[in-house]
A and B are shown apart, each in its own frame.
Chain A
Amino acid sequence: MLTNILEQLINGLRTGSIYALIALGYTMVYGIAKMINFAHGDIIMVGAYALYVAVALLHLPAIPAVIFTCVVCAVLGVIIERIAYKPLRNAPRLAVLITAIGVSYFLQSASLIIFKATPIPFQSIINVDSINIGGVTISGITIVTLVVTTISMIILTFFINKTKAGSAMRAVSEDMGAAQLVGINVNKTITMTFAIGSFLAAVAGILYICQYQSLKPTMGALPGIKAFVAAVLGGIGSIPGAMLGGIVLGIIESFSKAFISTELSDAIVFSVLVIVLLVRPSGFLGKKKSEKV
């Protein structure tokens, strides 16, 4: 029983850290551009297909294929921002939200045209042996996922807190007008945020596809929406919140699949969101907004 619990916990950490990587993209873009980028989930899908193209069609070795995937996604994120969101910088938020949903369907339809609807099987590029610690088996992909996510988060935290570009991002997210007037190029900062968010989505896409080993054009939707839930759970706009939210969500999902019901697991995840938001409307680490009367 204890072994089972530990194994489920590790499974949960694995899925959760993938959600966390995706959630970071949602939360960073929200923090800076004050918009929910609903096309973010589909970047994962594009990442998965890019990896497939690199490995199965171009026959690239693993490392160059991963770099190729990350670059494709980062560039795509920047292009989407430039074409779809930048012209709407001063438009009402609802317009931007609808645009984001439009971009999401555009990406799905484009990949439907190029790669067709039939799921494509994919051979994992991660070949690490599983290990056994005291009866608990940890698969190779789990180890890689946890290591990669941890490293990504450490680099990101350092980047946000200790570099010029990172503090420009924090400044823009607090007060775009004031940031501009101390000489920060807001457009450049927003572009960079999209590039970083999409880069992390590519990493998540690679880990995701190596786990599930099947590609289809709508594959980004569910992890995308769950990561969004994770971002809200942790407090949207908060970077540590997104990390925490993702991992908590992954663990809840894994436990409910194992001990309650596979069919109900998604319902349980979303119920948790409802309950958390009832108790803490701004999420675990979100900032409470108090208004002076």
Chain B
Amino acid sequence: MALLEVNNLGISFGGLRAVDNFNITIEKGDLYGLIGPNGAGKTTVFNLLTGVYVPTDGSIVLDGVKLNGKPAHDICKCGMARTFQNIRLFDKMSVLDNVKTALHNQVKYSLLSSIIRTPAYFNAERNMDKKAIEILKVFGLDRICEYKASNLPYGMQRKLEIARALATNPKLLLLDEPAAGMNPTETQELMDMIRFIRDNFDIAVLLIEHDMNLVLGICEQLKVLDYGRIIAEGDPVKVVNDPRVITAYLGE
């Protein structure tokens, strides 16, 4: 069975059909791209998948679990994690604490044991620190883990957001324009990193991106959205040369 199966997904805001009849099947280890002109409904798809919006119709099944209508934090627990188009870190917290908040759902200690500071509390906290540092190492952020998140340069904030999403222990990682605002060198680095994450964390990646170098460089399959509908899908090189896609981007 596929990792993610989405059938006939749709949402209406009043009279506006923002996403209509959206289908996607993602297998374990896939690197999938979702592209389309501005306002096509790409981020809305992410919001539907992660529970920010409740779909009007359709079904979302992740690893055999139906996700429709579950609250966002439960969907996250089921193995769906994401980053945002405009970075949304916990600015006032340290780099380490940002990652640790994402580890909460995997660590259990009671409120009481944290107040009277039992060994269980210290063990749990130490394990969380260790796990967080491990993830930060992948991104080269472990040496600056005490910095405040808002003090990091832009590129590092992007990386930290991916690290935080990875810390929730996802099966599927959704990246919303990960290369936005990056220069070509940084984008190249990001591509290597996404491949590395896919291989080493045993996850599938679905990403929204406008940077065609990145899309063609790493995505194995593409879906193209326009006005909330899929207009093309399949092999990236074929898809971007599809006349319908070119028309959607550039007009007649």
Contacts and interface: CB of A to CB of B under 8 A. Distances in A.
Interface of A: 155, 159, 162-165, 167-168, 170-171, 174-175, 177-186
21 contacts: A163-B115, A163-B121, A164-B107, A164-B109, A167-B93, A167-B100, A168-B101, A170-B92, A171-B90, A174-B91, A174-B93, A178-B90, A180-B73, A180-B76, A181-B76, A182-B76, A183-B73, A183-B77, A183-B105, A183-B168, A185-B71
A226 B243 CA distance: 68
Given A159-B114, A159-B115, A177-B88, A185 B73 contact: yes
Contacts of B250: none
A163 B100 CA distance: 10
Contacts of B104: 164, 167-168, 182-184
7 closest Cβ pairs, A-B complex = A183-B76, A183-B105, A180-B72, A182-B102, A178-B88, A163-B114, A174-B90
Contacts of A165: 111, 114
A177 B114 contact: no
Interface string B138-182: 000000000000000000000000001101100000000000000
The interface size bin for chain B is 35 or more
Contacts of A155: 115
B101 A171 contact: yes
Determine the main DSSP class of A at the interface with B: helix
Contacts, number: 81
B221 interface: no
Nearest to A192: B111
Contacts of B100: 167
Interface string B73-103: 1001100011010001111110001001110
B223 to A, nearest CB: 22
Nearest to B97: A167
Contacts of B93: 167, 170-171, 174
A55 B209 CA distance: 66
A40 to B, nearest CB: 22
